[in-house]
Amino acid sequence: MEREKKMRKKTALKRLAAYLSALVTILALFGCVSGERGTIDEGWLPALYEVQEGFHFALGEDGRTEKVKSGDWDNYVLCLNEQGNIPEQVKIRFPAEESHLIGAVDGEGNVLGRWETGEGTWKTEIPDGTVQLHVSVSAAEQEDIDIHVKGRQKECENTPLKGKNLSVIADSVSAYGGYIPKECIPYYSKYDGRNVDVTDMWWYRTARQFGMNLCEVNASGSSGVTHLEIDGFSDEYYEKRPELLRKENQEPDVIFSWLGGNDSLRGVSREVSPPGQSSHSAPRQASGAPA
């Protein structure tokens, strides 16, 4: 029974992704789509990564890699199959004067490459067989770190959306742990046993189908258009939420807003959130991107 329930949830999520892709297709058609298949730009693309909080990897006194628990460091994981291209190179700009460890591992956890670097821009070829890259990032630089990958192109729809930066402001249906700001509450996770991968999320599939770069996914469980009394968020969070739609050196060109479900469940009337006063309109004011 439980297995059937999990399968139904995953099927529903995939249907949701299909619906969103269809919606974007319709929007793109109004933008004079050529109807042909194209490829994502072969240059450097912003990397998609998972943030694993509270630990990082460092070199021990014996020269071996050690897992170190720390509230001042996080482990950033780049899964190569999740990127917008087929990565062959990685480039990282570290803003802080710290010693950073970067490791390349295969599907069985074997270390294929290991590098240590300080402040500044670091770049290298990715070893063949690499499945994941692990990057140690200090708390002092997490808002300003810049990670890009370069490699072979992936096929995508040839539409006006190709190459555009996509950000999302949404609630739990879009909230995937490790890929959302720390202030947000996740609903899905790689480790919750529900067999839902980040590649199943509607925003991931939409970005990959249309060759868009994922900028920020500002999605949180319990959040709404209005400040719900039981959501646990402060006024400050709602005020700065639009600012969490951008990254260092990356501004959104398109913002998808998927909010309102929690407001409806809490019985919030439409009069409480008139046009121009909700979180839907805030991102547009903050960045100038169409929502």
* Angle at alpha carbon of residue 154, lines to 18 and 111, rounded to 5°: 105
* 8 Å CB contact between 172 and 185: yes
- The C-alpha atoms of residue 205 and residue 198 are separated, in whole angstroms, by 9
Chain segment 154-179, per-residue pLDDT in tens:
888 888 898 899 999 888 889 999 99
Residue 194 pLDDT: 86
Q: C-alpha 12: how far from its chain's center?
A: 21
Neighbours of 280 (CB within 10 A): 18
Chain segment 91-105, per-residue pLDDT in tens:
999 999 999 999 999
Question: With pLDDT > 70 as the criterion, what percentage of the chain qualifies?
Answer: 73
Residue scoring higher pLDDT (274 or 57): 57
Residue 119 pLDDT: 95
Task: Looking at mean pLDDT, say which of 18-32, 114-128, 264-278 comes out highest.
Answer: 114-128
Distances (CA, A) of 182 to 85, 142, 186, 218: 26, 11, 9, 10
Residue scoring higher pLDDT (40 or 255): 255
* 8 Å CB contact between 137 and 57: no
Type of residue numbered 190: K
Residue 276 pLDDT: 36
| Burial tier of 118 (Cβ tally within 10 Å: 0-12, 13-18, 19+) | exposed
Mean pLDDT for all residues in the chain: 79
User: What is the set of domains in the chain, with CATH numbers?
Assistant: 44-150 (2.60.120), 165-266 (3.40.50.1110)
Q: Is the pLDDT of residue 147 over 90?
A: yes
Residue 143 pLDDT: 84
Residue 240 pLDDT: 77
Q: Is the pLDDT of residue 23 over 60?
A: no
pTM of the model: 0.74
- The C-alpha atoms of residue 243 and residue 188 are separated, in whole angstroms, by 23
